[in-house]
A and B are shown apart, each in its own frame.
Chain A
């Protein structure tokens, strides 16, 4: 039978072929219980979590949980409304104030997800005759923001400063320009040369938006991200971030010093035409963000975890996405999807959860086992994780 779903047939067949080999479905895992930011029960087995983006381990922080419960009691389970109608409670303002303090910026706008923050800001500020110049490895939400708007889209090779500069110089005189970059690219865990790229963008009259989803709370002296670490945060026009990683709940935001920023609340459709976050979510986010401002010790421990896992995996003979650990993400490169799925399953049997990433989400058609570390992984857990990688790697023939 041929209908609108026929276009999915190749994917349905690929998936069936993979599952026919008897491997556990890597995209259908259920966590039956979650004990902490680093441990859950999956298929009845204690499993160390190494693929959650829960970088700072705030999900079970007692202050964060208490704030959520209090807001649930006092403000109810949801707002049932748009931010511009009945959906802005005291808590929404409070979390925006927390963001302004965290980033030391004038304006903050909270969206219902990080995806919507990119979708909304990019599609709204770049209009029909404007140009968006973006890294080819940008996240899906950035591409979807481009697709939702009408701007001219110009991609450049990943992290290539010269390629960015060449394209900026060829854009017609007088056209509006928005350069879109990410602090940490989440597939390989590598960071961008923001210092050089922002300088080149500014020299050519472009505004700059940086998605710091995977660096907030961890990278930079105050956890403001790669732009802070490289000393150019004041030259960035818009920072996009999320509550679903270091902050430990769900939601997205944009912070900026642009004097006209507040008008976006009226013209940004993914902000206006959706319900706002529940009171409990914004209360947990605000509490978490304020605690992240004073988490230098946790940042330090997370770096140690990242360095140890990177060095240990390398020593075992795994091929990694970066030569040096650049973030809390370590990508283990797999030769193909079948081996990747087998290795993923072997790790799960050992009691370790990582993300299996495959095309089209990955660059250059790669299959990756993506590990994201948490500041609450103990040194003992990192040792345990390396032992599991050794066993699973030998069982599947990935290492000798």
Chain B
């Protein structure tokens, strides 16, 4: 059970809550640029742990494609948390399977 998050059953991608969409629609910020900035940062933080040299996209899965174990996940998540000044609980990690889903979660956490 050490791998609580890593062993979580993959879940269907979450649909974005309407409230979040409203937040986006009500801001003047260009929607994509902020998300793309986050994605670029996430990709940068993945690289030190990308031992297999996988070509990472939004669809890349942490467990299956990058083959990360629980300790790697812990270190990577710590770096993400420090960079974005957020907490990504194990409960949230269990719902995050792909790089794109992580960026979505960061959008939500910083909304």
Contacts and interface: CB of A to CB of B under 8 A. Distances in A.
Interface in A125-171: 131, 136-138, 140, 143-144, 146-147, 152-157, 163, 166-167, 170-171
B2 A137 contact: yes
Contacts, number: 51
Contacts of A144: 1
B78 A157 contact: yes
B1 A153 contact: no
Interface stretch (B18-26, B28-36, B79-87, B100-108): B79-87
A152 B3 CA distance: 16
Contacts of B89: 131, 152-154
Interface residues of A, number: 25
A136 B71 contact: yes
Contacts of A138: 2
A140 B86 CA distance: 27
Contacts of B70: 136
Nearest to B77: A155
Nearest to A187: B2
Nearest to B72: A364
B74 interface: yes
A131 B92 CA distance: 13
A360 B91 contact: no
Contact of B4 (A131, A146, A163, A365): A146
Contacts of B71: 136, 363-364
B75 interface: yes
B78 A153 contact: no
A176 to B, nearest CB: 14
Contacts of A136: 2, 70-71, 74
B28 to A, nearest CB: 27
Given A144-B1, A147-B1, A163 B78 contact: yes
Contact of A157 (B3, B74, B82, B91): B74
Interface residues of B, number: 18
A115 to B, nearest CB: 11
B90 interface: yes
B90 A153 contact: yes
Interface in A358-398: 360-361, 363-365
B90 A166 contact: no
Contacts of A131: 89
A155 B85 contact: no
A196 B46 CA distance: 31
B69 interface: yes
Contact of A143 (B1, B81, B91): B1
Residue in B70, B74, B81, B90 whose Cβ sees the most chain A Cβ within 10 Å: B90
Contacts of B74: 136, 155, 157
Contacts of A143: 1-2, 4
B86 A153 contact: no
A360 B1 contact: yes
A42 to B, nearest CB: 29
Contact of B2 (A152, A163, A360): A360
Contact of A360 (B3, B86, B90): B3
Given A136-B2, A140-B1, A143-B2, A170 B87 contact: yes
A167 B3 CA distance: 19
A365 B3 CA distance: 11
Contacts of A156: 78
Contacts of A153: 4, 89-91
B7 to A, nearest CB: 8
B87 A171 contact: yes
A144 B1 CA distance: 7
Interface in A202-255: none
B35 to A, nearest CB: 22
A188 to B, nearest CB: 13
Contacts of A170: 81, 85-87
Interface in A309-326: none
9 contacts: A131-B89, A136-B74, A140-B1, A146-B4, A153-B91, A155-B74, A170-B81, A360-B3, A361-B2
Interface of A: 131, 136-138, 140, 143-144, 146-147, 152-157, 163, 166-167, 170-171, 360-361, 363-365
Q: Lowest 6 A-B CB distances belong to which pairs?
A: A153-B90, A143-B1, A152-B89, A140-B1, A170-B87, A360-B2
